[in-house]
Amino acid sequence: MYEERRKRWKQAKTLTPEKLALARRVLEDVRRGRAVLEALRSHPLRGGYLSKSALVAAYRQMVAAGEMKPDPRLLERIRMKPVRTLSGVTTVTVLTKPYPCPGHCIFCPDDVRMPKSYLPDEPGAMRGLEHGFDPYAQVRARLNALEALGHPTDKIELLILGGTWSAYRKDYREWFIKRCFDALNDAPPSPPDEDLPLSALHARNETASHRNVGLVIETRPDAVTPEEIRHLRALGVTKVQLGAQSLDDRILALNKRGHTVAETRRAVALLRAAGFKIVLHWMPNLLGATPDSDRADFARLWEGLCPDEIKIYPTQLLAGTELYEYWQCGEYTPYTTGELIHLLADLKPTIPRYCRVNRVIRDIPSTHVVDGNRRTSLRQDVQRELTRRGARCQCVRCREVRGRKVDPASLQLHDLAYHADYAEEHFLSFDTPDDHLAGFVRLSLPTPEAPETGIEELRGAALIREVHVYGQSLPVGAAREGAAQHVGLGTRLLAEAERIARARGFRRMAVIAAVGTRRYYPERGFERGALYLVKSL
């Protein structure tokens, strides 16, 4: 199955002279105002189909030959999956090598070819396996593919997946990050002769053509310690995904998670005190759960934990797992697709406006699912149900401006204040009159009881945990009429954050900055420290 999918994928991506010639004819139709899909249907390809990457290649060929002037709006029309970069950055996902995981979760697949919990024919995992889990090769291949599809690649969020990051050997983790930065910095394929320290690669990336604007890893709550978070910052990590899965100790024990709710709370509080952005994974339909208990469990996410982002991963019944044995014995019953849609439609409108829902289902091919929901389009299904009910989700993702035009003069500044464990949080945002989100800052004001991180730069400081301006990702320094990026929203939000922090008695402010965004802050009064940028208030 895996080999057949790879074969079809390679055939579709191969650009032949016939495809390019056909693509040029399609492009001429699109320039004359014809819809892209209609134009593609009017020019069928023998024995296959014409991909949008062929249209982008034809566009670039024609621009280079002087046959047409650069046309950004035309490029947007033919770009494959523009939603990938409508959040203001371009995400590149890489997988770590197969490695033992300290967890023994009964629902996790355990394919020897893959890191724990991943299957070889999941899209991102398939790319990892294709490149032998080499970080350099994965990053370069993804950058090349994104560029071929017409996406900007100068602002890259690097998403590192592969089970429990903290369980890997420290030297492997450092090597992995270095090779990712080599790829972003356009270094040669083989490691350079001199063993450059990671700090030198970070410095190069500050002016590289592919700047890292976010670095994300995933780990377990019981792996988060002060020592670990200091190492994460030295690597350049800015966001941490934690597998909470449930906030009920009974459910965690039944599913052999190997940690408690108290450990999840401690890990989240420690990460928040260190300025990290926090993503929690939550799983309905675990062994022992019911739709009603899941509703109650979901509400606990907003009682102190208050994650910045969540991934909802409904439990999927897979052959070869321990959960599959419970199902065979009649002790586990997966929710039907209808039950799951109704449950998620109940939950989504309760999500606070400061949180982003990244996913509502794992990208596992339906052929692996033994029983229960097999639909991977669950987000769209839930949205249709919400529309039928006349309800809406107000999470960050559902409110992003995306490709809409923005009038900076009409934006309204809002301060959504809420209390998390050991911190007063402020979600400062610029919103359009019709309630779309143009940009935001996450300001965290630690209480005296906040966990001790052991990081001197953070002592007594207010924290900027995220600065994000939405809309189609634009090149560094570029501007476009009606775009939210590069019109000064970030600077204005930072000024409001400083005003609030000063009024609360804070005399210093620290910002957790990705390597490629470090140069943004000194222009706004911040000075470089060892792990953070700090400003006196």
Tens-place pLDDT, residues 399-451: 999 878 889 999 999 999 999 999 999 999 999 999 999 999 999 999 999 99
Task: Name the percent of the chain in helix, strand, coil, to the closest 5.
Answer: 40, 15, 40
> Which fold would CATH assign to domain 408-536?
Aminopeptidase (3.40.630)
Q: Which of 412, 321, 405, 330 is nearest to 369 (CA)?
A: 321
Q: What pLDDT is stored for residue 206 in this prediction?
A: 97
The pTM assigned to this predicted structure is: 0.88
Q: What pLDDT is stored for residue 26 in this prediction?
A: 79
Same fold, 231-399 and 408-536: no
> Range with the lowest mean pLDDT among 127-131, 245-249, 259-263, 447-451?
127-131
Q: What pLDDT is stored for residue 8 in this prediction?
A: 52
Q: What pLDDT is stored for residue 319 in this prediction?
A: 95
Q: Which residue has the higher pLDDT, 415 or 484?
A: 415
Q: What pLDDT is stored for residue 72 in this prediction?
A: 75
CATH for 231-399, among 3.30.360.10, 3.30.750.200, 3.30.1330.10, 2.10.260.10?
3.30.750.200
Q: How far is CA 20 from the centre of its chain?
A: 33
Contacts of residue 8, defined as CB under 8 A and 6 or more positions apart, other chains included, come to: none
Please state, for a pLDDT cut of 90, what percent of the chain lies above it: 71
CA dihedral over 226, 232, 234, 238, signed as positive or negative: negative
pLDDT at 76 over 90: no
Q: Could you tell me the pLDDT band of residue 473, with boundaries at 50, 70 and 90?
A: very low
- Give domain limits for the chain: 2-78, 82-219, 231-399, 408-536
Q: What pLDDT is stored for residue 484 in this prediction?
A: 53
Residue 125, phi-psi category: left (phi > 0), alpha (psi -120 to 50), beta (remainder): alpha
Overall residue count recorded for the chain in this entry: 537
C-beta separation of 432 from 400 below 8 A:
no
Tell me the one-letter amino acid at 242: L
Q: Which residue has the higher pLDDT, 74 or 209?
A: 209
